[in-house]
Chains A and B, each alone.
Chain A
Amino acid sequence: MSGRNEQEYLLQEAARRELAQGRIDRRDFLTRSLLTGLGLTGVGAVAKSGITPAFAADRPLTPTFYQWIQDLHPGIPAVNAKFPGINYQIAPVEGFGIERFVAEAKNKESTWDVYVGQTPFVEMSAFIKAGVIEPWDNYIPKEVIDDIIPSIRAECSVDGKLYSWPFFLDVIGTSWHSGITGKAGLPDAAPATWDEFLASSKKIVDSKAAPWGATFDAHGWRSLVPVTHSMSTKAYTPEGLFDFTSEPAIEALKLMKQIIANSNPDILLEGSSDAGVNSTTDEEAFKSQRVGLYFKYFNAPLRMAASWDDPKLLHLGPLPKFTNGEGSTVFWTTGCALFKYGQNKEKAAEYIKALTYDPQIWKDSIVGTPGVHPGQLPPYKSIYAGWDSSKPDWMPPFVGLVRSQLDRAKAIDNNIFGLQQFVIGKPIWETYLKGEEPDPKVAMTKVMEAVQAEIKKG
């Protein structure tokens, strides 16, 4: 067992790469190694000694990115090239861990200027509470703020101030392996209703077109929430928590149990990276071409299908709805947070504007590049308007589909327990999914009680 954790290893490797590429000198490398090796205790000690502030005083623009963003978007270096001297880094945030940022803010300092990787409902509330970030309002051009799609702007704002400059948009929708659905004799179209979805899933298994009919990511914000929204988006408490005991949520849970009957057996298990939230079992099942139907944010099936013999067999569509349901879904953005104690704030705004409006990044994301196909979309009205008025020949149909879904989609409300409520609740609602608890309402009531008990602790 090594005492060195994965975060420190990633930081060290990132520093080594930058040294090899000549982007930092040996002094910087040694300083970062010291900070990395000493961990949080070291950050505090070194900061008090004045080394970090001294380096921050005249440092270049220093953005830091969640690793997966660099992996999925190869166009970022081209944008970086337009900002000579930029000190581009990878963030120590495995498993949505933001403790390094919080620890530095408590010492009134920040190694970085801007963090690209913030998901509002996940960590934005914690960032604001701890005084880690400040709003972009003083730095973001007015035309950019006005250009953000309203529902996205609402997602990224607290008390009217924009705390997350949105970058990548993810929407939960349906995808299917058209080779499998064709073999099962199903039409090549997204099921319009959940009843159709269930029937198609069963037919795939009965016809032996694939071992499993359908799959989904069992984490609540990726399955329970979108299915709930497909019935109704009125499933939140006045405090901004998900109302697990609402009728839409209970119906969603019952539906999930029906889907599981024809799903991969490991569907409820945790993933194998990022503290269980990524490299999930649904992705493995879809990647192995053993399941026909899938619902998740589109970048998941796009990434998994990239390894198929024929990736064109992947088709995308909107999430099904309950009969008489609202037909909504869930969306979230991955955005950029401005560190309160960072430097170069005007420059950071300039950089993020260049990044988020870069046409090559969007083309690569939508069409894909060799090896990656994230399928994430932009947050700006003008970009879609431009595509509408002059449709590029590379534009696939799913972009228009996602854009139209966005008008009906709802983001998860921001709350300090925005993500944690689902982490706390998952093992409890799963007692119903596994058959240990026969009544979904009882299971969901226990979820609410457990979440409230945690909230009371502060």
Chain B
Amino acid sequence: MAQVIANDEVELGARVSGGPAEVIRKGMSEWLFLVPALVFFIGYQVWPIIRVLWLSFTNFQLLSDKPSQWVGVDNYAQALHDPLMWASLWRAALFTMMFLPGTIILPLLLAILVDRVANQRLATVYRVILLIPAVIPSTLVFVLWKWMYNYQSGPINHLLVDTFGLFTLQNAPQWLGGTALTLPAIAIMEVWWGLGYHTIFFIAGLAAIPKDMPDAARIDGANEWQVFWHVTRPQLAPIMMILVVLRFGSAMAVIDEYLIFGGFNRASPTYTWTIFMYDQAFKTGLWRQGYAASIGMIGAIAMMFVMAALLWIFRPKG
């Protein structure tokens, strides 16, 4: 340790020996390598956000030939007073609450089971099977599940009606099209789609836990549940935090699935704030993009608050 510190001190001395100008010169060359990435980041990530923020303070309508005008916070006031804004945000939150546990509980359970498989070849086979949905292109996933959920000819209703006789043709579940089952149906599809991907996260996390910790707990008399709760779970907390925060963001921002499975019916559970925003920006009237931008900003700010709360809840403790 002392030698490492000494080496660092020598290196630091060598760095500053040329004076501040030398330090700046050497730093500039390192920054130059970052320029392409910065240009792309600013141009395609930061600039669109700034532009949308600016749009949200105007009455810009894409189809209109009138120049747009600054309206201050009028769009925000209108959105916040619009019952559809709150209804659509709540629907997205509802979907997220249905979806998020599926990114933690089931993948974690599967990861623990796969981790306990002694035969490594068999464990690899299980991992490959779990990852199959993750490599299917999105449009094929949508086609597959549209067929699965088809009221007339889908295999799920065929099993429920024709095979098990649990329902009749009159009262069989209506999975898609804007019923109360539509959000859970989409959540199930998403959980299935991401199962392998999330499980791999936990498998990696389990592999990083030193084996002597759970062994020591068992020696001390802890049962399997206690080992999991007091040893394994805290070690996996950083991974859970990453998954929950990332998946919260992507779940709240879902739009493709709602466009495909729900459309623009405002009473549908799939008419979330993203669809509301898209509807206002590209479908309704003269395409009120200023108003749509304010909807987007309100949704984004709400998400940021929740993400901050999630980061605090799942923060590494001790």
Contact of B285 (CB < 8 Å), options: A41, A131, A279, A457:
A457
Contact of A416 (CB < 8 Å), options: B169, B265, B285:
B285
Contact of B170 (CB < 8 Å), options: A1, A99, A265:
A265
Does any Cβ of A come within 8 Å of B105's Cβ?
no
The answer on a CB contact under 8 Å between A281 and B169 is: no
Residues in A with CB closer than 8 Å to B44 are 38, 41
Does any Cβ of B come within 8 Å of A55's Cβ?
no
Does any Cβ of A come within 8 Å of B192's Cβ?
no
Residues in B with CB closer than 8 Å to A126 are 63, 287
Closest chain-A Cβ to B83's Cβ sits at a distance in Å of: 12
The answer on a CB contact under 8 Å between B263 and A266 is: no
Residues in B with CB closer than 8 Å to A9 are 137-139
Residues in B with CB closer than 8 Å to A416 are 63, 285-286
The answer on a CB contact under 8 Å between A275 and B264 is: yes
The answer on a CB contact under 8 Å between A281 and B62 is: no
Residues in A with CB closer than 8 Å to B177 are 266, 269-272, 276, 281
Residues in B with CB closer than 8 Å to A420 are 283-285
Residues in A with CB closer than 8 Å to B139 are 6, 9
Residues in A with CB closer than 8 Å to B255 are 5
Q: Mark B254-280, 1 if CB is under 8 A from A, else 0.
A: 111101111111111000000000000
> How many angstroms from the CA of A424 to the CA of B48 in the assembled complex?
30
Residues in B with CB closer than 8 Å to A363 are none
The answer on a CB contact under 8 Å between B174 and A270 is: no
The answer on a CB contact under 8 Å between B288 and A290 is: no
Residues in B with CB closer than 8 Å to A284 are 150-153
Q: Is chain B's interface secondary structure helix, strand, loop, or mixed overall?
A: loop
Does any Cβ of B come within 8 Å of A458's Cβ?
yes
**B-facing residues in A84-142 (Cβ within 8 Å):** 95, 97, 99, 102-103, 106, 126, 129-131
The answer on a CB contact under 8 Å between A1 and B263 is: no
How many A-B pairs have beta carbons closer than 8 Å: the answer is 140
The answer on a CB contact under 8 Å between A41 and B152 is: no
Counting chain B CB atoms within 10 Å of each CB, which of A2, A102, A103, A131 scores highest?
A2
Known contacts A211-B169, A284-B150, A430-B267; is-contact A275 B259 (Cβ 8 Å): yes
Counting chain A CB atoms within 10 Å of each CB, which of B65, B170, B282 scores highest?
B282
Does any Cβ of B come within 8 Å of A78's Cβ?
no
Contact of B261 (CB < 8 Å), options: A131, A272, A454:
A272
The answer on a CB contact under 8 Å between B179 and A4 is: no
Contact of A275 (CB < 8 Å), options: B263, B284, B291:
B263
The answer on a CB contact under 8 Å between A265 and B171 is: yes
Residues in B with CB closer than 8 Å to A266 are 151, 174, 177
The answer on a CB contact under 8 Å between B285 and A417 is: yes
The answer on a CB contact under 8 Å between B146 and A272 is: yes
Contact of B138 (CB < 8 Å), options: A2, A426, A427:
A2
> How many angstroms from the CA of A99 to the CA of B263 in the assembled complex?
16
Does any Cβ of A come within 8 Å of B115's Cβ?
no
> How many angstroms from the CA of A243 to the CA of B7 in the assembled complex?
85
Which residue on chain B has the smallest CB distance to residue A38?
B44
Interface size on A, residues (CB 8 A): 50
The answer on a CB contact under 8 Å between A423 and B151 is: no
The answer on a CB contact under 8 Å between B286 and A1 is: no
Known contacts A6-B256, A97-B282, A458-B288; is-contact A270 B268 (Cβ 8 Å): yes
Residues in A with CB closer than 8 Å to B171 are 265
The answer on a CB contact under 8 Å between A270 and B282 is: no
Known contacts A5-B256, A458-B286; is-contact A102 B262 (Cβ 8 Å): no
The answer on a CB contact under 8 Å between A2 and B260 is: no
Does any Cβ of A come within 8 Å of B296's Cβ?
no
The answer on a CB contact under 8 Å between B176 and A102 is: no
Residues in B with CB closer than 8 Å to A5 are 255-256, 259
The answer on a CB contact under 8 Å between B260 and A102 is: no
Closest chain-A Cβ to B100's Cβ sits at a distance in Å of: 13
Does any Cβ of B come within 8 Å of A401's Cβ?
no
> How many angstroms from the CA of A103 to the CA of B262 in the assembled complex?
25
The answer on a CB contact under 8 Å between B257 and A270 is: no
Does any Cβ of B come within 8 Å of A277's Cβ?
yes
**A-facing residues in B169-195 (Cβ within 8 Å):** 169-172, 174, 176-179, 190, 193-194
Does any Cβ of A come within 8 Å of B250's Cβ?
yes
Does any Cβ of B come within 8 Å of A273's Cβ?
yes
Known contacts A276-B262, A427-B266; is-contact A129 B284 (Cβ 8 Å): no
Closest chain-A Cβ to B268's Cβ sits at a distance in Å of: 7
The answer on a CB contact under 8 Å between B264 and A102 is: no
Closest chain-B Cβ to A131's Cβ sits at a distance in Å of: 7
> How many angstroms from the CA of A290 to the CA of B255 in the assembled complex?
33
Closest chain-B Cβ to A189's Cβ sits at a distance in Å of: 27
Does any Cβ of A come within 8 Å of B56's Cβ?
no
**A-facing residues in B6-56 (Cβ within 8 Å):** 43-44, 48
| Sample of 12 A–B contacts (CB below 8 Å) | A1-B257, A129-B64, A266-B174, A270-B178, A270-B261, A272-B146, A272-B260, A276-B261, A281-B177, A420-B283, A457-B285, A458-B285
Top 10 A-B pairs, shortest CB-CB distance: A276-B263, A269-B177, A427-B267, A2-B138, A284-B152, A275-B263, A130-B63, A288-B152, A270-B177, A270-B263
Chain B positions within 8 Å of A, measured between CB atoms, are 43-44, 48, 59, 61-65, 137-139, 142, 146, 150-153, 169-172, 174, 176-179, 190, 193-194, 250-251, 254-257, 259-268, 282-288, 291
